[in-house]
């Protein structure tokens, strides 16, 4: 029975949660916006049933090949340092997740988002909208070409600047594998004062930071960063019982 619940002969996988001590909490007082928004009551445990172990199929038709290149939009080249961001989408059992929709959004090289609410005095780039989409290949790999985002001030506290980051949204195979996260860059001096980064328990913070990828850096064109994303895996599949008495 390990890892499955029986639903009238149906074997439903059970997706394992990360231990509480390694999960980002829903609220974190130093991140001020959580104050009135993060629920205060303990969530009720919901055992996984069919609704939780299934998930939508979000196919290729939602994504065009050019969506993976954020550096060329509206007929021109975006300004900034080109970077190739690549990696794999895996589950916590180490299995690749093929066909997963990966959506990204980010600020431009000056640290400004193309959004009506973002009006701090950094220039907009007419050739950068900050939106990308890719679907993982059969080995769970993704990659997109973009511009390294800038840091930006965000008013959480005096002189608060967010470290450079790219937002990621992922669908795995199941409702329980849904993930929204942020990818950071190595050795950012702003980590220490950023409550969104520091809300991640210390032992798990390195999982949010990409690695400089010399092997994929393109000569005379772009730096590269590698970042693997791990979604929740199913509990280990139980071994079938061997009934023939062979115990060798």
Residues 15 to 54: which contact other proteins by CB under 8 A?
15, 17-18, 22-28, 31, 33-41, 43-54
Q: Among residue numbers 66 through 125, which ones bind other proteins (CB under 8 A)?
A: 90-94, 103-105, 113-115, 117-118
Q: Report the residue number, 219 or 248, with the smaller CB distance to other proteins.
A: 248
Query: 106 near 167, Cβ under 8 Å?
Result: yes
Residue 233 CB, nearest approach to other proteins (Å): 8
- By CB under 8 A, the residues from 142 to 201 that bind other proteins are 167, 169, 173-176, 178-182, 196, 199-201
Smallest separation (angstroms) from other proteins to the CB of 122: 14
Residue with the two structure tokens 């290729």: 60
Catalytic residue, candidates 15, 113, 142, 184:
113
| Residue 79 near residue 143 (C-beta atoms within 8 A) | no
Dihedral angle over CA of 187, 191, 192, 198, nearest 10: -130
- State the minimum distance, in angstroms, from the CB of residue 82 to other proteins: 19
Sheet arrangement for strand 179-184:
131-135, 101-106, 165-170, 179-184
Concerning whether 31 is annotated as a catalytic residue, the answer is no
Q: Is 157 a catalytic residue?
A: no
Q: Which of 81, 119, 207, 221 binds other proteins (CB under 8 A)?
A: 207
Q: With beta carbons less than 8 A apart as the criterion, state whether 24 and 200 touch.
A: yes
Q: Is 113 a catalytic residue?
A: yes
CA distances (Å), 202 to each of 29, 191, 197, in order? 16, 12, 9
- Rank residues 10 and 221 by Cβ distance to other proteins and give the closer one: 10
Residue 130 is a binding residue for other proteins (CB under 8 A): yes
- Comparing CA positions, the residue from 106, 59, 45 lying closest to residue 78 is 106
The nearer residue to other proteins, 31 or 142, going by C-beta atoms, is: 31
Reported residue count of the chain is 248
Catalytic site residues?
113, 152, 162, 165, 167
């Amino acid at each position: 029975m390990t890892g499955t619940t029986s639903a009238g002969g149906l074997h439903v996988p059970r997706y394992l949660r990360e231990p509480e001590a390694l999960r980002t909490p829903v609220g974190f007082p130093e991140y001020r916006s959580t104050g009135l928004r993060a629920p205060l009551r303990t969530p009720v445990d919901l055992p996984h049933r069919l609704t939780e172990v299934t998930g939508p199929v979000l196919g290729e038709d939602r994504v065009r090949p050019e969506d993976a290149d954020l550096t060329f939009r509206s007929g021109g080249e975006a300004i900034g340092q080109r970077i190739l961001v690549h990696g794999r989408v895996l589950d916590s059992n180490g299995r690749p997740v093929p066909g997963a929709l990966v959506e990204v959004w980010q600020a431009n090289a000056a640290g400004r988002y193309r959004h009506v609410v973002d009006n701090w005095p950094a220039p907009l780039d007419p050739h950068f909208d900050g939106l990308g989409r890719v679907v993982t290949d059969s080995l769970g790999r993704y990659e997109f070409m973009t511009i390294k985002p800038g840091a930006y001030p965000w008013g959480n506290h005096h002189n608060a600047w967010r470290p450079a980051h790219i937002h990621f949204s992922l669908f795995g195979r199941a409702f329980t594998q849904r993930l929204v996260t942020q990818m950071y860059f190595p050795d950012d001096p702003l980590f220490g004062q950023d409550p969104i980064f520091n809300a991640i328990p210390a032992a798990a913070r390195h999982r949010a930071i990409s690695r400089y990828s010399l092997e994929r850096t393109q000569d005379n064109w772009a730096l590269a960063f590698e970042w693997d994303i791990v979604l929740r895996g199913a509990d280990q599949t139980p071994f079938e019982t061997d009934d023939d008495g062979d115990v060798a």
